[in-house]
A = this chain, B = another copy of it.
Amino acid sequence: MTIDETGRPHHPIDRTDTVGAIGERAVIAALTASATAGEPAHDIVIGSGDDAAVLDIGGSAVISTDTVVEGRHFRFGWSTPEQVGARAVVQSSADVAAMGGRTTGLVVSIACPAETPVGVVLDLNDGVVRAAHELDARVLGGDLVAAGQVVVSVTAVGALEDRRPVSLGGARTGDVLAVSGPLGASAAGLAVLSDPRAAESDWPELVALHRVPAPDLGQGPIAAAAGAHAMTDISDGLIEELLTMSRAAGLAMAVDSDAVPRRPDLVEAAGALGVDLTRWLLAGGEDHHLLASFEAAAVPPGWTVIGSVGAPSTSAPEVWVDDRRVGGPDGPDLHGWQSFADPTGD
């Protein structure tokens, strides 16, 4: 493998050959070469290519894994292999950020049919490597196996440095709830792709954010350093995450939907498509911005206050949106996305 002036790796094997024809080892060698190209990171003792990688964590390690499945979490018609790889990295790293960690290393498992062109696997891996580099992290290794469909698992390993981990259930009565970015873009991008009346070129950034979410994961360590009491990333939609946080803390939580930050193009797209904007904001998942609870005075710059943490609840999870209880008789019934219940594909 060589690197051209754009930093994009060139693979000497024929990209149109199938993985089965070229063989696992040759493909893994190309993936390893791609993963180890460029500047070595100071905290990697042994990188990709050995039995296992060795990472100098210098304290506590934060570990999370996330798996995406073709036809279920992504479709190659809608996303390029690079985008699929990048998205898997963001998903896992968001979980690390939600503990207050900074992702420093990733391992990647790719399962795919033997008939898959090698170029698809190389591009998927390039997406992983590039997204890792954007987080100042490195790909430490992985596995490539034959399967009936493409399944990508990414495990992110991060460093807490001198911060205390921020758990799901640490919210305290009187805290404010805040988010680290504008919500709903991924759901809106999916709606644009799904709606025959909409063209991708009308809202290109929403579609791009559906394909690869772009949360500022540096806000996780910032929130932890600011003393956040509880934190999670918004993968299943704001309401779903609030229900999880409320259940974990045993406390009521309330949000003001008008306070939820939103992109101007999201408001435009909702109007043009005649869609309920609130649904995108409150139930749209996969933006992977962070949701945290803080003492009111401790909210760091970059975060938007959207609500507050109430009293202990005997019927937790207890989440209120605009003074209506979620799941209550006249309350909103906005639910996020679950892998088995509501697949993207099939």
List, in ascending order, chain B residues with CB within 8 A of A65's CB.
107-109, 141-143, 153, 155
Known contacts A24-B341, A151-B111; is-contact A52 B64 (Cβ 8 Å) = yes
A45 interface neighbour in B24, B60, B146, B168, Cβ under 8 Å: B60
Are A149 and B146 in contact (CB-based, < 8 A)? no
For chain A, the bracket of interface size reads: 35 or more
Are B54 and A99 in contact (CB-based, < 8 A)? yes
List, in ascending order, chain B residues with CB within 8 A of A144's CB.
339
Are A232 and B51 in contact (CB-based, < 8 A)? yes
Are B62 and A146 in contact (CB-based, < 8 A)? no
Within 8 A of B (CB), among A293-346: 338-341, 343
Known contacts A65-B107, A72-B145, A341-B23; is-contact A46 B153 (Cβ 8 Å) = no
Indicate if A61 sits at the interface (CB-CB under 8 A): yes
Known contacts A151-B147, A153-B67; is-contact A340 B24 (Cβ 8 Å) = yes
Known contacts A107-B64, A155-B155; is-contact A50 B99 (Cβ 8 Å) = yes
* Per-position binary interface string of chain A over residues 1-42, scored 1 when its CB falls under 8 Å from any chain B CB and 0 otherwise: 000000000000000000110011100000000000000000
Within 8 A of B (CB), among A89-112: 94-96, 98-99, 101, 105, 107-109, 111
Indicate if A188 sits at the interface (CB-CB under 8 A): no
A sample of 27 cross-chain residue pairs with beta-carbon separation below 8 angstroms, ordered by A number, consists of A23-B340, A49-B168, A50-B168, A52-B95, A52-B156, A54-B61, A54-B62, A55-B60, A55-B62, A55-B63, A57-B60, A57-B61, A61-B157, A63-B107, A65-B108, A65-B143, A65-B153, A67-B109, A67-B111, A69-B145, A69-B146, A72-B147, A111-B151, A147-B149, A148-B148, A151-B151, A157-B157
